Amino acid sequence: MSTGWIGVDLDGTLAHYDGWVDSSHIGAPIPVMVDRVRRWIDSGLTVKIFTARFHNGPKAIAVINEWSLFHLGQVLEVTATKDFRMVELWDDRAIRVRINTGEIILGSDLLGEPS
């Protein structure tokens, strides 16, 4: 997976979300996800924050970068675009399906996470 990356949604997955306030407001970190992301980074994996906030422009991204630096210890790339190098997406709204089948997959096949 050295050439791949893991996408982690911000609102509701990495940070607590109770509804939209504005692009300068990001909720408190969700400890289990912050710890998981830190472990991935420490083991050499590439993690990106995958969020629709990306489309709110450079000021919104700067707020995310500040949040990331404070809670994760480093700034992660922020994106709203999937590509073929993305190997997983962790999100509060996504449901994973097996390629070309529509079959639902529970848990993480790639990273050995429990379902």
pLDDT at res. 111: 53
Question: What would the two tokens of residue 49 be?
Answer: 């924050």
**Mean pLDDT, residues 27-38:** 97
Query: pLDDT at residue 35 above 50?
Result: yes
Quote the CA–CA distance of 10 and 63 in Å, as a whole number: 12
Question: What would the two tokens of residue 102 be?
Answer: 């529509």
Residue 7's SS3 state is strand
pLDDT at res. 114: 44
Q: How far is CA 47 from CA 2, 18, 21, in A?
A: 11, 24, 26
Quote the CA–CA distance of 80 and 91 in Å, as a whole number: 12
Burial code (b: 16+ CB inside 10 Å, e: under 16) for 18-28 equals eeeeebeebbe
Q: Which CATH architecture has domain 5-90?
A: 3-Layer(aba) Sandwich (3.40)
Query: pLDDT at residue 40 above 90?
Result: yes
How do residues 46-92 score in pLDDT, each as one tens digit?
999 999 999 888 999 999 999 999 999 999 999 999 999 999 999 99
At residue 115 the predicted structure's pLDDT band, cuts being 50, 70 and 90, is very low
Q: Sketch the domain layout of the chain as residue ranges.
A: 5-90
At residue 106 the predicted structure's pLDDT band, cuts being 50, 70 and 90, is confident
